Structure 1
């Protein structure tokens, strides 16, 4: 994936994480999703056209479309206030394909760091499937934090290191990323689940006002 495009993947993941954490209004996030989605469709198209005799380059570029279409889909959904089921089930497709791209980075492209990063993305897009496709809203806060953190760890920071020439030891980065992911995302689960439970429990005054009525929830988490 191009380092410049990867930098803006970090930005949109961070923004979407903040949206899930109720810090950013959904329609405002939708506009930026369209910007990054368009970039992530144009970029691989240019890379593929200019590297038609280099299979490894085409393989690397082909995965970018998964993200471009995701962000375009999310942006349109947010701006149109459509149901999120389609995005959720497309996210399941992306999660499965991300496992394949992880294998390709380990075994074909010789890049263990991005092999681990693709595993990160497989996990994240599976969360999107559970949240948006299966409508399991109890994982909203957890998914928000994972999305925001991954924006930095899997995209913005690696992109900046690549652009500045400091991405020099993929094997070491792979180990660091693997340990960080297991520790942080496992630790986040009980913390966010507790907060989610507290947030979902209406106070006596909210009950009296009908704030606990689930029928009035918006169609987009």
Structure 2
């Protein structure tokens, strides 16, 4: 499931890049961001639910699911920010936090 989710991540990155290049209207990217964010969170939840908490593989699975969740919330925040016309300030601070979490997960 996470492989499929990563294909959606590539698609949403392409669409968001086209928004910044002003080739796509920002409002048109909202559904793609919300869909991808929801898919990543759903994928992370499935990963956690499939592994027994007493299993030795649980910690590795939890770290992988945490990474998917961070990016899922990022895309949901981008979609919500665009949907509700936010200034982007909170999104920027969230992305700083997400980058810090991603660095910790990469070191682990």
Following the alignment from structure 1 to structure 2, what is the Cα–Cα distance between the partners of residues 95 and 55? 21
The offset of 1:34, in angstroms, is 0.5
Q: RMSD value over aligned CA atoms?
A: 1.3
Mind listing any 5+ residue stretches in structure 2 that lack a counterpart?
none
1:28 aligns with 2:32: no
The offset of 1:77, in angstroms, is 1.1
Summarize deviations over 1:178-213 as a string: whole Å, max 9, x none. Answer: xxxxxxxxxxxxxxxxxxxxxxxxxxxxxxxxxxxx
Mind listing any 5+ residue stretches in structure 1 that lack a counterpart?
105-221
1:17-166 mapped onto 2 (5 Å cutoff): 17-51=17-51, 52=53, 53=55, 54-104=58-108
Task: Mark the structure with the bigger radius of gyration.
Answer: 1
Deviation beyond 2 Å, 4+ runs, structure 1? none
- Count residues with an aligned counterpart: 104
TM-score (norm 1): 0.45
The offset of 1:39, in angstroms, is 0.4
The offset of 1:27, in angstroms, is 0.5
The offset of 1:80, in angstroms, is 1.6
TM-score (norm 2): 0.90
